[in-house]
Structure 1
Amino acid sequence: MSVKTVRKSGKPVVTWHKGFEAGSRDGSVAGWNEGYRIGRSNGIYTQLGERLFPIRPYKVLYVTAGIGDPYPALDQAIIEGLRSVVSEVVSVSPAESVVAAATLYMPDIVLVLNGVILPLEQVDELRQRGFRTAVWFTDDPYYTDWTIGIAPHYDYVFTLELNCVSLYQSIGCTNVYYFPFAVNTKAFYPCATQLSFQTDICFIGTAFWNRVWYVDQIAHYLKGKRTLLSGWWWDRLQQYQLLSSSIRLGNWMTPEDTSRYYNGAKIVINLHRPVDDETNNNSMLLQACSVNPRTFEINGCSTLQLVDLRSEVSQMYVPNQEIVTYSSPEELVYQLDYYLTHEEERREIAFKAYNRTLRQHTYAHRLDQMMSILFE
């Protein structure tokens, strides 16, 4: 692009550069949009705030999952949620003697996350000694070959998959509750981001085969956008070379960076894990209808979410008002294209999702509900 000049006293004077003018205009619009998003989100938070729940006079012994990422972040979110609803929380690892810890601290309930690592002999001994026990399964229905052997050892079973409630009841569990996860508002919240985190379209997660198939179908569309794909196994893509510059391969992203990318994206895609993936232990092929934790984390960042259609989505958020769904690669492309070109509609849906998340889907909400079940 050329530089326009005028002559004044025989000297060339630069008056404007077309590229600078366009860049300045685009930057001003982007800056205004980001400022408006953060301002409106802060207004929603100021209006609603963090709901304060009555502190119940109970002591909880919390047993962590004892597994690597992403479980430590999940453990921390639940511990913080517990501290907002009960008077005392003590956490231990399943590698420790949970029986000894319970004998020392005398908790009102022993709550175990996942339950895969904690030896069942310890769970049985806890109950024999009169301690009440509860397990919260994190990955239903994908590892039900394991969990059906674990669930009967507990007094209470909480599962994030609605279809697993009847499964656990059928093997003799009497206190079974559908209990989805939530958002940790200290990790996932609206914030301004650096340019390096900003994209049009973002997807963060392991490349299970259903996700690979979807992305291969829409690869040429994604190539034309500022796209980020991050997670393990994305080199499985047939269109890997086409999208390689958009892929962060083979690393687990921290909650902090995940939140930054969610905030920096115009649209975040959520595509659930398949029930028949080769990495699962779900020989019954029990179907999934409930939402994953990312559903709440994306909406907690006040960013538009496009999620594959599951029946429980509409129980958490109002479709096309608080969240947008799709059921095929063609519909996904249509929704992406529409909302990338309809800024105001995209923002309003994201604001409504953020509002709903603060009102109903934080860990404080979940743990308050759990304590109601356990003690009232």
Structure 2
Amino acid sequence: MALSDSKLRNIKAPYHGPIEIADRDGLSVRITKNAVIAFYYRFRWQAKQQRIKIGRYPDIKLSEARVTGLEYRQLLVDNLDPRCHGVNRGAARLLGDICNDFMKAYAHPQLSPTTVVLYESFISKYIMPNFNIDVERYRYTEWIKLLDGVRDDTTAANAGSILKRLKTVIRWSKVRGEIKSSACLDIPIKAIGAHQSRRERVLEWSEMAGLWRQVEASRATPKTKACVKLLILTGARNAEIRGAERCEFNLDKAIWILPKERSKTGKMIRRPLSNQSISIIESLDFIYGQDRHFLIEGLSQDKALSTHALNRYVQRLNEQLDYPHFVPHDFRRTISTRLSEQKIMPHVTEKMLGHELGGIMAIYNKHDWYDEQIIAYQLYWDLLKNHILQGS
């Protein structure tokens, strides 16, 4: 027989009746000898009887407990374990809500646009399907199962990256006092995947020459070709070139000034332009006009070339060239290594890459060795051009 508020109110201590009384739809109450009444939801999961405590009466009303029971029942219909997927009741903090708050209050105001895009992709692909996870009640083994699925569907390194982002978001909520703890924070990366391996790929001069010739011979658009060439010649970050605005470049003074708003370090970066870099930009001006907003436009004039389009083109180059696999970021390591072989000093190559110097120098030395960078950039192109002409 279903429960009623009057029945529950009339339960007094000492209680000598049945320990458990069923209501409906899996809801029941358990009663102690001292007449402490607690609501429970009973269900079967993987052929085993399970029980979830909803809360004590009268802190939780019978009507509220029934609503919660129906929400748990819907989770079962969706093939989700109610013990691990929270329902939005009271103080429960759901993973999806935490991620949305994280993006609004922290990511958008403080992180770089590139990092924001990474988090948006992470939320879309991995959080939205698991929006209702109650981060405090989700068990350690359930987090492991979730991340094992990521690893099996992708790679161990990707599972490790997803865990790191989960921890970042959940830890942010914890330090704000919104949650007390989460088992996710206790999971080591080695339990579910692997750390991202640090790339060490440095292209040989012969590979750089072959790559340049392959770019020239390809049927890609001039702007896509120009993007790869400028990445090779400047050692700039992928997003710095792709998102560059035409107004950042002064060809008469042979300089590119990257504003602090687009810099990973949050500081303005001056980069000299080699003769070849200037020639590439002049070719883009001739084709697309000098008054365009972005240096390298995407499918429309109001958008920059997308990272997907660039990576897809570089992947085609990988397929056409019989070289060990390379990615655009490897061009940064290559220019630094090859110029170091030519006795260009490390503090110069670090500034070319847009890095902050380490230690005390980062605090007291704000010089960017611009004149030395001019020599280094031109030397790099001259050496690369010689290898291209020699057919090496």
* TM-score after normalising by structure 1: 0.30
Q: Going by fraction, where is strand more abundant, 1 or 2?
A: 1
* TM-score after normalising by structure 2: 0.29
Q: Which has the larger radius of gyration?
A: 2
Higher relative CO (CA 8 A, sep ≥ 6), structure 1 or 2? 1
